[in-house]
């Protein structure tokens, strides 16, 4: 077994009376795709935010390659966010700069890690637009002119261009039409395999978890109630809540 890329133990976070995280533990190994499923309000987004250092837990520990994420100076955490980590937001507008062209959205991330040569940046942006199936002729358009699915693909290009090792995705296909979702999932699956990314993906969609994830964590009321290999969890769920989740999908 490889050493985990990220490890968290004993995470606790309360909002008033609500325990958004109640003693959560998670490991993510290099190249592993882990899906977090669970009902609305179960703490999925909070977990991503805490792991990526966007929010501080009340208690617990998070390490990235053995380094204490919670003790890291803000500048070091921001550097990880620009380089080794990526965050794909459910709403692409939260992950894009809307006043900047599509090419600029990709180029900006490259410049943040030190790229300076205009021609190279533009060439790489062209390459990434193609990879996410956006016509490079749209390079100089602003994201507002794109459809929701295109905006999400652009956000993914912006995140992946710097070749992060660990990517957090919060319902990346959330607001999209079903046909657009399927295509985006295929694209995510291909990119993840190709780049050998470790991914922590939050999804309501059991079929998406089945397609993408090696492992599944089921959350309910701030707790991980079940976890295991994807096929085991979905084909032989042990916890009553997971059984309900899986059977409600089959019935739908």
Ligand X SMILES: Nc1ncnc2c1ncn2[C@@H]1O[C@H](COP(=O)(O)OP(=O)(O)OP(=O)(O)O)[C@@H](O)[C@H]1O
Would you tell me which residues interact with ligand X (CB under 6 A)? 15, 18, 20, 38, 40-46
Helix runs in 54-177, H state only: 74-82, 102-112, 118-131, 148-160
The footprint of Mg ion on this chain (CB under 5 A) covers a number of residues equal to: 1
| CA-based radius of gyration for the chain | 18
Q: Does 45 bind Mg ion (CB under 5 A)?
A: yes
In degrees to the nearest 10, what's the CA dihedral of 110, 113, 119, 122?
Answer: 0
DSSP state of 116: -
Least separation in angstroms between residue 44's CB and ligand X is: 3
DSSP state of 43: S
Residue 141 CA neighbour count, 13 Å, CB half = 14
- In whole angstroms, what is the distance from residue 44 CA to residue 204 CA? 10
Q: Does 203 bind Mg ion (CB under 5 A)?
A: no
CB nearer to ligand X: pick between 25 and 139: 25
Least separation in angstroms between residue 86's CB and ligand X is: 19
CB nearer to Mg ion: pick between 37 and 184: 37
Residues in the chain, overall count = 252
- In whole angstroms, what is the distance from residue 222 CA to residue 42 CA? 5
Residue of this chain nearest to Mg ion (CB atom)? 45
Least separation in angstroms between residue 249's CB and ligand X is: 15
Partner whose footprint covers residue 155, from ligand X, Mg ion, none (CB < 5 to 8 Å by kind): none
Least separation in angstroms between residue 216's CB and Mg ion is: 16
CB nearer to Mg ion: pick between 45 and 203: 45
- Candidates 45-53, 150-158, 175-183, 239-247; binding stretch for Mg ion (CB under 5 A): 45-53
CB nearer to ligand X: pick between 13 and 132: 13
Residue 95 near residue 87, CB atoms below 8 Å? yes
For 145, the token pair is 């002119």
CB nearer to Mg ion: pick between 45 and 162: 45
Q: Given the rule CB under 5 A, which residues bind Mg ion? A: 45
């Amino acid at each position: 077994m490889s050493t985990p890329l990220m490890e968290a133990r004993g995470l606790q976070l309360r909002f008033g009376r609500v325990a958004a995280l109640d003693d959560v533990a998670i490991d993510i190994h290099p190249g592993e795709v882990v899906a977090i499923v669970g009902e609305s309000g179960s703490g999925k987004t909070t977990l991503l935010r805490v792991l990526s250092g966007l929010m501080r837990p009340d208690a617990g520990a998070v390490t990235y390659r053995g380094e204490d994420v919670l003790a890291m100076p803000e500048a070091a955490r921001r550097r990880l966010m620009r380089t080794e980590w990526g965050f794909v937001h459910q709403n692409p507008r939260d992950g894009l700069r809307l006043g900047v062209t599509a090419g600029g959205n990709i180029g900006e991330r490259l410049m943040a890690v030190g790229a300076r040569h205009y021609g190279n940046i533009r060439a790489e942006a062209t390459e990434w637009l193609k990879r996410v199936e956006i016509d490079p002729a749209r390079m100089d358009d602003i994201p507002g002119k794109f459809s929701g699915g295109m905006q999400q693909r652009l956000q993914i290009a912006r995140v992946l261009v710097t070749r992060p090792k660990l990517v957090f995705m919060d319902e990346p296909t959330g607001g999209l039409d079903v046909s657009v979702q399927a295509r985006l999932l295929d694209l995510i699956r291909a990119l993840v395999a190709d780049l050998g990314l470790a991914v922590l993906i939050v999804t309501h969609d059991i079929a998406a978890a089945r397609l993408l994830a090696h492992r599944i964590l089921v959350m309910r009321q701030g707790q991980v109630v079940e976890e295991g290999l994807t096929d085991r969890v979905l084909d032989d769920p042990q916890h009553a809540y997971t059984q309900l989740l899986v059977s409600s999908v089959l019935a739908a």
